[in-house]
Homo-oligomer: A and B are copies of this chain.
Amino acid sequence: MPDVLLLPGDGIGAEIVPEAVKALKAVGKRYQIRFRFREALIGGAAYDACGHPLPEETLRLCEESDAILLGAIGGPKWDNLPVELRPEMGALLPLRKKLGLYANIRPALLFPALIEASPLKPEIVSGMDLVVVRELTGGLYFGTKKREFVDNGDEQAIDTLVYRTGEIERIGRLAFQMARKRRKKVTSVDKANVLESSRLWRDVITGLGREYPDVQLEHMYVDNCSMQLVRRPTQFDVIVTENTFGDILTDEASILTGSIGMLASASIGGKVALYEPAHGSAPDIAGQQKANPLATILSAALMLRLSFGMEEGAQAIEAAVRQVLDEGYRTADIMQPGKRQVTTAAMGDLVADRI
């Protein structure tokens, strides 16, 4: 009995997570699997309830579970707390680190039914199907931080960008292995003309590349990559990069598909993996049944695939999502003239029905 921990979190989290549960239950019914669902608090919701955004109890339940489904965290309400109590620094980053989730996998796939929603011209975005493999527990996010006064009375703030061979190797391998199952191309993104960490990154990835002679490896500077993504997104298959660059490039890649409300992500590498939509907590539309649950539902599909090896179940969810879109159902964020607008819950029901 696979044990799934639900972490709805903040904002629209409480609305979208239940819709993914419907999909998992539908898959369970079709393939005779019983999931066990437990739920815990995280982020601002946890802070409000018990004074800390990542309660001990939540961490324990995470470690005990077989997979975690997260909604979203954060919101203006908690932005002025001391840094270590904010949802991001107090919950999300420590959770990633403690669970050893060193790889964030974010597919950016164009849904043909939604091509009109892309800000890019159809001829440029058509066929876009890439995955960003982002290093998630190293770099600037986790290096030493400091704030101090200096001689002239100025304040000075310091962040440190650190990478070790081993950290680069394990994320690199993951990217090459993923490329093998796809179109066999890896683009490694760095700023090796300026950063020492990028030069180490490039050395290690180049070395690894020799072990995967069947995969085409190219190196690209991050500034050029942010340009190439817009210019010709179809040139990419698997992009692998460090934490901060990955943060920037995944958001950019997502919007190109026109449907950030549609994109799933998986954070893997440890004993238990964490699945979450690529979008945020959208406090402005929370509680209004306007949120698009499809990214969370597709994250559940990723969970079936990557944590439970249930490829069939994953495909059943993905096919159901495509079908619902083809039938013309849309949430507000992807609404287009001539389509039928539905609520968060209605969208979840439609997908579950078709599984």
Contact = CB atoms under 8 A, between A and B. Distances in A.
The SS class assigned to the A binding surface is helix
A89 B199 CA distance: 13
Contacts of A147: 196, 199-200
Interface string A159-181: 11111111000000000000000
A140 B194 CA distance: 8
B152 A163 contact: no
Contacts of A196: 145-147, 157-159
A315 interface: no
Interface stretch (A10-18, A209-217, A223-231, A286-294): A223-231
A163 to B, nearest CB: 6
A193 B156 contact: no
Contacts of A160: 158-161
Interface in A213-248: 222-224, 226-227, 229-232, 244-245, 247-248
State how many copies of this chain the complex holds. 2
A144 B133 CA distance: 28
Contact of A161 (B154, B159, B200): B159
A245 B252 CA distance: 13
28 contacts: A93-B194, A119-B124, A119-B230, A140-B194, A140-B195, A145-B195, A147-B196, A154-B164, A157-B196, A157-B200, A157-B201, A158-B160, A158-B161, A158-B162, A159-B196, A160-B160, A191-B244, A223-B247, A223-B250, A224-B251, A226-B249, A226-B251, A227-B251, A227-B255, A229-B252, A230-B256, A231-B255, A252-B252
